[in-house]
Structure 1
Amino acid sequence: MLTNWVLKKTLKGEVDYKAPEVRNKVGYLSGLVGIFINVFLFILKFIIGLICSSVAILADAFNNLSDAASSIITIIGFKLSSKPADKEHPYGHGRIEYISALVIVSLVLVVGFQFIKTSISRIISPAPVTFAWLPFVLLLLSIFFKWWLSHFNRVLGNKINSQSLKATATDAMGDVFTTSVVVISFLASRFTRFPIDGYVGTFVALAILYAGFNLIKETLNPLIGEAPDEELVHALTEGVLAYDHITGVHDLIVHNYGPGRIMASLHAEIPADIPLMTIHDIIDTAERELSEKLRLHLVIHMDPICVTSEEVAKVRSEVDKIIRYNPLIQSMHDFRFVGEGEKKNLLFDIVVDAYHLDKVLSAHDLKQSIIDAIQEEHPDYNCIITIDKCYLHEPK
């Protein structure tokens, strides 16, 4: 309720969350709300930690301060990543959002390492923790603030599909857990002289480091070059196949230059007997309409496929039967003959499960098994098979 009210007041009515200007507004909103709440929680917990002499509470306080700094970096990241393309960066500055997330992670890790040191010192040289009910209640209240902030960023992150905001939401939910442990240890200090404060401080610091290393993985993946989103792959494939005369799609490549800055290319199979201008018009239309619909830049390459030759149809049917029951092979494309007379080159590509290839059968052995089966019926064919590895469906 509160999240929707904040969005309604900020964006004023129905909006397109994929639009760049709306996306930036949502990013700024997340950053500003994060700064306000985290600075408030830092001041609150810092005062409580000093009054009660609790290193665990102080560790949690500085964790909130690093979150506030992260929110500032989020705003800067959205601002810089929205800069238009220029001579030095023809594909825009979208990846700055990922780089800003790495800076956030660095702050998280620094806080974690610092408080491991402080907490271990407290274990070695214990100091009494002063329990009081008012600080205890205020700490409980801080848990609610962090829970709402996690929910808020998750909603915003899903609406604009931002890994940065989703990571912030995960970090905030981790803070809910660590603060809950701090509150329990604070209450326990009322009943025991055991230096639980130092141990809990160490636990909180380790939780901060764990969250930081997870964030590193999430932010490095798009910079290194991760596999495209399966929903996007499905939308592109089904979208292209919906156009007249296009019978198959393969060799899809997606380049991510930052949120909302995606370039994609693919090969579309079309009958070879279709007039060139007709299919060119269809391809142009598909590129334009799907680029606008999916908010990316799409380039389609035409692959003419011979569908009238009886020999091609017969041999393709035979090869289909050979590969149909092989669990490694997902599909076949670019099936064609090159050459004349008795000696012909039979060329085609197969898409294989990259996660099981070489574990079950090597690429060489897989190709050879198919070639041997074909040449049993057609010994004069020279088979040239290309293997395309698919990384989309990772085993559970």
Structure 2
Amino acid sequence: MNLDNRLTVQKVLTITLLFNLLVMGLKIFVGVSTGSLSLTADALHSVTDSANNILGLVANRFSSPLPDREYPYGHQKFEALGALGIAAFLGIACFEILKGVIDRVIQGTGVVKVSQLELWILLIVLGINIFVAFTERAVGKRIMSAILIADAKHTMSDVWITITVIGGLIGVWFGYQWLDIVLALPVAMLVFWSGWSIVKENLPWLADKIAIAPEIIHKIALSVPGVVNCHDIASRGVIGHQVFVEMHLIVDALDVEQAHWITEEVEHRIQEKFHPVRVVIHVEPPTYKVDSITFGDKKFN
């Protein structure tokens, strides 16, 4: 059984896009009116927020978990690709922020002017970002959506960036002009860290890294009456999202029908623990002997 939550993802991304466009407009307005480098960098980060939402909507359109003729294992890796696209946008934003800092240092620090009204506008922006980040992350974890979780992290980085920028502008308000350019550096680092975290979480999925320890699958299989042993166990995917399991199962059965019911019970127990999961089992006779349980594994005792 596959869980298709694309309509929920689409709805959340669309609402988030509208909020991000509002936030981006407010930051650009305040950034231009104050001349703040750190806020301009933050506004640039918000531009990528909106671009990420659009990218996410496109990726979500093609990330159906349902198999078809062209993609018999479903299309869910498109969602992971979309998450990596978000990481790429974050990398671009980080580069542009650092470039702006270098240009400001070389060309000399300009004067930044901040009013109470502009600080209040930024506090409203901060509240919107916090609401969007926590809502998006909660929904993403509930439906196990890589694209929503990745976008929530991106938005959460925007929260910390905005807090940093507001702190810097308050310092500028009290006459510490150098704070604006100094605080632009941690903004760039936060952006980079968000992108790196997304890459680390999604590359294993795309590279088919093991999803379930073979020892766990081995234990479940041997708990079924009639199973003598199992080996060449392989798994990939994301637990709670979609997992694929393959194994060779040695069964003590009198005929094909009995062997079938044994494998059905093994599939049922694995499905019960790691739903949703698709299991493929190659049946072997009880006389077949093997000690290893997985590829490249040492002898299993």
Aligned CA distance change for structure 1 residues 153 and 96 (closer, same or farther; 3 Å): same
Tell me how far 1:258 sits from its aligned partner. Answer: 11
Aligned residue pairs total 296
1:252 matched residue in structure 2: 233
* Cα RMSD (Å): 3.1
Does residue 111 of structure 2 align to residue 128 of structure 1? yes
- Deviation per residue, 1:233-252 (Å, 9 max, x gap): 84x55654443222544432
Aligned CA distance change for structure 1 residues 217 and 129 (closer, same or farther; 3 Å): same
SS at match of 2:15: helix
1:173 matched residue in structure 2: 156
Counterparts of 1:343-382 in structure 2, within 5 Å, are 348-349=291-292
SS at match of 1:298: strand
Q: Which amino acid aligns with 1:348?
A: D
Q: Which amino acid aligns with 1:210?
A: W
Cα distance between partner residues in 1 of 2:46 and 2:240: 27
- Within the candidate set 285, 302, 307, 2:264 is matched to 285
SS at match of 1:189: helix
Tell me how far 1:297 sits from its aligned partner. Answer: 2.3
Q: Which amino acid aligns with 1:91?
A: Y
Aligned CA distance change for structure 1 residues 278 and 165 (closer, same or farther; 3 Å): same
Aligned CA distance change for structure 1 residues 389 and 44 (closer, same or farther; 3 Å): farther
2:98 matched residue in structure 1: 116
Counterparts of 1:1-396 in structure 2, within 5 Å, are 19-20=3-4, 23-82=5-64, 85=67, 87-124=69-106, 125-229=108-212, 234=216, 236-237=217-218, 239-256=220-237, 262-271=243-252, 274-277=253-256, 279-286=258-265, 289=268, 294-305=275-286, 336=289, 348-349=291-292, 388=297
More helix by share: 2
Cα distance between partner residues in 1 of 2:82 and 2:168: 34
Tell me how far 1:262 sits from its aligned partner. Answer: 3.8
Tell me how far 1:284 sits from its aligned partner. Answer: 4.4
More strand by share: 1
Aligned CA distance change for structure 1 residues 350 and 193 (closer, same or farther; 3 Å): closer
Cα distance between partner residues in 2 of 1:387 and 1:207: 39
Tell me how far 1:201 sits from its aligned partner. Answer: 1.6
Aligned CA distance change for structure 1 residues 104 and 138 (closer, same or farther; 3 Å): same
SS at match of 1:349: coil
Tell me if the contact between 1:116 and 1:206 (Cα under 8 Å) persists in the aligned partners. Answer: no
The structure showing larger relative contact order (alpha-carbon pairs under 8 Å, at least 6 residues apart) is 2
> Which runs of 5 or more structure 2 residues have no equivalent in the other structure?
none
Tell me how far 1:107 sits from its aligned partner. Answer: 1.6
Q: Which amino acid aligns with 2:78?
A: I
Tell me if the contact between 1:254 and 1:263 (Cα under 8 Å) persists in the aligned partners. Answer: yes
Cα distance between partner residues in 2 of 1:56 and 1:214: 23
SS at match of 1:110: helix
